[in-house]
Amino acid sequence: MKHTSSHGSFQEPWWWKLLPVASVALFLAVWHGAALCNPAMLPTPVETIRSLFDMLFFPTTQITLLDHVWASLRRVLIAYGLATLSGVLLGVLFGWSRNFHDFVYPIFELLRPIPPIAWIPLIIMWLGIGEGAKIAICFIGSFIPVVVNTFFGFTTLDRTYLKAAQVLGARQKDLLLEVVLPGIFPNILAGMKVALSAGWLCVIAAEMIAAREGLGYLIVRSMESGNMLNILVALIFIGSISAILSFLFSKLEKVVCPW
């Protein structure tokens, strides 16, 4: 990470590398302290990690932790795939056709500021509490960033490329495929990145409201039974998976879009 304070030939002191370790240690210490003050309600970090391993390797319930994880992941991936395809399509339509943009974009702008969570009651009324509802909510959450970023790519595209291609005799189809799409590809990827974390957020929210498996469901059930351990384990998983997905996406980005 390029840091403005590290000007030129600035040599980082060795102990700086310990700072992240120190802050994590501090966090764990505060957690442990809080747990000691509330032994009935808040488990210590050690207890939580042990519980995590137990749940992973020695499941006692019929639906294991990994089942929950996979249920959540599955929904996100399906919704994400659909959202990416349709989102890019809509974004390109908005950018490519002025007429389409003028007629349809205001509707999109009207619906865009509504948070995906606010859609949940309506979606549940339409689709019940099955898989479709949860996928639909994640779809909304992921769809919007993809459209916004794809369309934004159009507005920041350098016109010179297009003019150059036209001068060289490119047809509309070629313009689209050879100039525009590669040009906005970084924007599409940026939108897809936001969409991935948005989708993950939405699936947890949707599961907390209406589901029978999944990490969100696990949290809600554990809230009802006062099982703080499960909640913390679920949170750790939610955080870790989100981090892993972001990491994988960054790696993928470098491969797919070197420019």
Q: Which of residues 141-200 bind other proteins (CB under 8 A)?
A: 154, 157, 159, 162, 172, 175-176, 180, 197, 200
Instruction: For residue 41, state whether it binds other proteins (rule: CB under 8 A).
Output: yes
Instruction: For residue 233, state whether it binds other proteins (rule: CB under 8 A).
Output: no
Rounded CA-CA distance 249/188 in Å is 13
Q: How far is CA 55 from CA 60, 201, 237, 240, in A?
A: 7, 23, 12, 16
Query: 102: which residues sit within 8 A by CB, 6+ positions away?
Result: none
Token pair in block for residue 22: 């120190």
- Residue 72 vs 84, nearer CB to other proteins: 72
Instruction: For residue 114, state whether it binds other proteins (rule: CB under 8 A).
Output: yes
Token pair in block for residue 150: 């794809």
Q: Count the neighbouring beta carbons within 10 Å of the beta carbon of residue 226.
A: 10
**Least distance from other proteins to the Cβ atom of residue 82, Å:** 20
Instruction: For residue 1, state whether it binds other proteins (rule: CB under 8 A).
Output: yes
Instruction: For residue 78, state whether it binds other proteins (rule: CB under 8 A).
Output: no
Instruction: For residue 14, state whether it binds other proteins (rule: CB under 8 A).
Output: no
Selected from 83, 216, 217, 221, the binder of other proteins by CB under 8 A is 216
| Binding footprint of other proteins, residue count (CB under 8 A) | 78
Rounded CA-CA distance 64/46 in Å is 21
Instruction: For residue 9, state whether it binds other proteins (rule: CB under 8 A).
Output: no
Give 33's Cβ-side CA count (13 Å radius): 6
Instruction: For residue 106, state whether it binds other proteins (rule: CB under 8 A).
Output: yes
Instruction: For residue 39, state whether it binds other proteins (rule: CB under 8 A).
Output: no
